[in-house]
Amino acid sequence: MADNLLESVEPYVTQLREEGWCVLENAIPADVVDEVREEVETSEADYNEFRKEHGVWERNVISFMPKFAVHLANERLLATLQQLLGPQVRISQTEYKIRPPHYELVRAYHSDFPYDLNQKWHITQPFPTAVIGITTLWMLSEFTTENGGTWIVPKSHVDLRNPRGKEDNIGDRNPLDGEMQAIGSAGSVLIMDSRIWHSNAENPSDGKRTAVVVRYAPWWLNLELFGANTATIPGETFDQLPDDVKLLYEHRAENREPTVWI
Ligand SMILES: O=C(O)CCC(=O)C(=O)O
């Protein structure tokens, strides 16, 4: 990795290690973010329709958003992730996170895969001190405190308790000490150690808060999750991805011989 790239991501790496989160600006350039947002907003309905007809196993959501997909190996983002996860990373999960106008929600604090204690495929407490998952929320509309910027609790990645820990008496629906909302302009990425306690926020505004969550994992983590995220990408769709993005999704490619990982 080039020294100047490493140097440029050092502040993000340090903040992730110490605080458990950071925001990387301009991961999607300003001149294309509107069309990416439009693709994501319109394709969610297509995906839901497809899934109703064919079931969740049939097609991975990333197949529905090719204009978004090309950004997922962003150089500064990957350089940051690789400092924490090691040089070989893969994408474990991709999901639409569009909050409609006037969306109401009581907080629902949790950590993400593989630390989400409400999911079957989680590791048990006390969590090891290693970073084994990074959650990224791609802001396709601006995130503000008025439209549902994600609630986070800085430094909670090193707290051995968990809002969903049965013995921890935290209460995942409660406001928590130190909580704050992550904000940023469209095209930014909220990067979180997946252990960080975080939650949806209400969106009292008149506009959608549009995002996609993409979770990254080290190569050695078992990603056979028995759910929508294990669905495959059709071979012809996979062929259209840039090579550096193929690397992140090759484990989901249908009818394609693995080339990258052998
Ligand atoms: O949409 C958000 O703001 C938060 C999403 C979230 O909590 C998650 O994907 O785990």
Cα of 207 from ligand 1 centre, angstroms: 18
Mean pLDDT computed over every residue of the chain? 95
Does 35 fall in a domain? Answer: yes
Atom of ligand 1 nearest to the CA of 198: 7
pTM: 0.96
Long-range contacts of 71-74 (CB under 8 A, 24+ apart): 71/27, 71/28, 71/36, 71/138, 72/214, 72/245, 72/248, 73/242, 73/244, 73/245, 73/247, 73/248, 74/24, 74/27, 74/189
pLDDT of residue 221: 96
pLDDT digits (tens, 9 = 90+) for 68-92: 999 999 999 999 999 999 999 999 9
Does 131 fall in a domain? Answer: yes
pLDDT digits (tens, 9 = 90+) for 13-45: 999 999 999 999 999 999 999 999 999 999 999
Q: Which of 111, 144, 150 to mutate to test the pocket of ligand 1 (most atoms within 8 A of CB)?
A: 150
CA separation for the pair 177, 202 (Å, rounded): 18
Highest mean pLDDT out of 103-112, 141-150, 253-262? 141-150
Q: Give the residue-averaged pLDDT of 116-128.
A: 93
Domains in the chain: how many in total?
Answer: 1
CATH of the domain at 18: 2.60.120.620
Q: Could you tell me if the CB of 112 is within 6 A of ligand 1?
A: yes
pLDDT digits (tens, 9 = 90+) for 240-252: 999 999 999 999 9
Give percent of the chain above pLDDT 90: 89
Q: Could you tell me if the CB of 209 is within 6 A of ligand 1?
A: no
CA separation for the pair 97, 208 (Å, rounded): 10
Does 260 fall in a domain? Answer: no
Range of the domain at 46: 3-252
CA separation for the pair 54, 32 (Å, rounded): 32
Does 140 fall in a domain? Answer: yes
Does 206 fall in a domain? Answer: yes
